[in-house]
Structure 1
Amino acid sequence: MEVFFSDMTPLTLALCLMVALVAGVIKGMVGFAMPMVMVSGLSSIVGAEWALAGLILPTVLTNLWQALRQGRAAAWASVKRFRVFLLCGFVTLVASAQLVRVLPANVLLLMIGVPVVIFALIQLFGVKLRLREDGHHVVEAGIGGFAGFIGGMSGIWGPPTVMYLTAINTPKRDQMRIQGVIYGLGAVALLGAHVGSGVMRAQTLPFSVALLVPALAGTWLGFQVQDRIDQAAFRKATLVVLMVAGLNLIRRGLTG
């Protein structure tokens, strides 16, 4: 441990493990927000590169677990059902990754945060924004493309995905599984990209491995809560987390 984390004090490492635990609990409860929580928390403790490296393996494995909780057949059915969303998101993610240096980061964060907060507030105040579950592939393609577009530049594709699944009134168990599938495929792509970029390397890999234990433990705790709450409570918890995430994105966009 001293060899791998020679630049970290025991307190620093303990704080990082606590961030991973909290992120895991939130992830298990509502199915998303782990990258945002971990990036926000870890980057205030360690460098941005270490924060990014640290979240990669916990994000991959918790999403895999989430996607497969109802079995491989159910996960594959989600892939087929949301193939338009996934395909459009992948295409725009690859394309927008080339635009990272063109669009200012604060503008991008505001582009994500403002509509997310508006959507969450409208829903929390009882205004029902609904889409039919079927027959709207154009809308699905548009939202999937937007999620991929912002994901390619920022690594954050969760809020638009959650907005869409909430708008089509996805049942709780299905929404958790679908989010796991969508985010899991994105997380695998993120892992591959950052093995190539050098962010995930021999020095940072043990740090990401160390964060796996609290992240997985937190996710298990969150799953226990999520399994015991009804659809209405799950929806409200999802919207609250979505609003907090959106406000944090706006804060980052305004403060630079």
Structure 2
Amino acid sequence: MTVESQLASPLFWLLALIGVTLTGISKSGFAGGAGVVAVPLLALVMPVPLAVLLMLPLLLAMDIKTIQYYRQHTSTAELKKIVPAALAGIAAGGLLLGKLPVESLKVLLGGLSIVFALWHRLAPILGQMKGAAWLWGGISGLTSTLIHAGGPPINIYLIAQRLPKLTWLASAGVFFGVMNAVKVFPYLMTGHWTRELLALSLALLPVAIFGTWLGRQIQGRISEQQFVLCCRLLLLVSGLLLIAQVIAGSR
């Protein structure tokens, strides 16, 4: 399907509006807990590599707005632990673009997310074990580069740190902002980015901004306990979506 045909497709716009809005809500309301939803939805009407490229400018815009909302609450100490690991993961992901069996990665990440979301006692084990920041930060950088699914692994780490809600949102916003900015370079090397695709991203920019605004409104109306519960629920949903995408693709 060409970009021109997508512009004329009601199904594309319906799926794009839903996926981008939910991703925006997730970014500013739940630290990216359901950020994997847009690519699977868009993959129903366009190739996955193009869906990934389409989303990156929108993710960057969402990150910028999230940072604007919460920057005064950022934990520099946490970012110093996880950002270097994420950059290493992005470098590895850039080398593996188009080479790694993405389906296997989705199943592994999805299964881990589901188990962690349902088994609360895993938090202190997986999120606070020695080298946890490097492990989950690195995996987040890798999966973010390959399939825009950096949210589940880093939230496994952040849940275990028991950060205040706004500190969690602010730190995650900066973390994802740095990652998505760095990902521009390996994505440019793929040669698949076109002016038409960038124009399509630009057309969806107001939707991304609206979703981010809506997420901020939602998080302001829930307690710390409800926030953690929602993040666990979104981690579960993310895991199920990743596995469902593999199952659907194998048919």
TM-score class, shorter: 0.7 to 0.9
Determine the structure 2 residue equivalent to 1:14.
Answer: 13
Distance in 2 (alpha carbons) for counterparts of 1:139 and 1:49: 30
Cα 1:251/1:54, change in 2 over 3 Å: same
- Please say if residues 35 and 59 of structure 1, whose CA atoms lie closer than 8 Å, have aligned partners that are also in contact: no
Instruction: Work out the percentage of aligned pairs sharing the same amino acid.
Output: 23
Size of the aligned set, in residue pairs, is 246
My pick for the range that moved more, 36-45 or 11-20, is: 11-20
Map Cα deviations across residues 98-136 of structure 1 (whole Å, 9 max, x no partner).
23455422221122111110010113xxx47337x99x7
Residue 29 of structure 1, CA deviation: 2.3
Asked if 2 retains the 8 angstrom alpha-carbon contact of 1:108 and 1:253, the reply is no
Whether the 8 Å contact between 1:58 and 1:212 is mirrored in structure 2 is: yes
Distance 1:79-1:204 versus aligned 2 partners, 3 A rule: farther
Following the alignment from structure 1 to structure 2, what is the Cα–Cα distance between the partners of residues 198 and 52? 13
Match of 1:218 in 2: 211
TM-score, length-scaled by structure 1: 0.83
Aligned to 1:130, which of 124, 127, 130?
A: 124
Larger radius of gyration: 1
Aligned partners of 2:220, 2:246: CA distance in 1, in Å?
A: 35
Shift of residue 46, structure 1, vs aligned partner: 3.3
Contact 2:90 2:145 in 1 (8 A): yes
Deviation at 1:65, TM superposition (A): 1.6
Query: Greater CA deviation, 225-234 or 15-24?
Result: 15-24
Amino acid at match of 1:22: L
Give 5+ residue unaligned stretches, structure 2: none
Instruction: Give the structure 2 partner of residue 208 of structure 1.
Output: 201
Q: Retained in 2: the 8 A contact 1:31–1:66?
A: no
If the length of structure 2 is used for normalisation, what is the TM-score? 0.85
- Cα distance change, pair 192–236 in 1 and its aligned pair in 2 (3 A): same
Map 1:81-230; keep pairs closer than 5 Å. Answer: 81-100=78-97, 103-123=100-120, 127=121, 129-130=123-124, 138-230=131-223
Q: Report the RMSD for the aligned CA atoms in angstroms.
A: 2.7
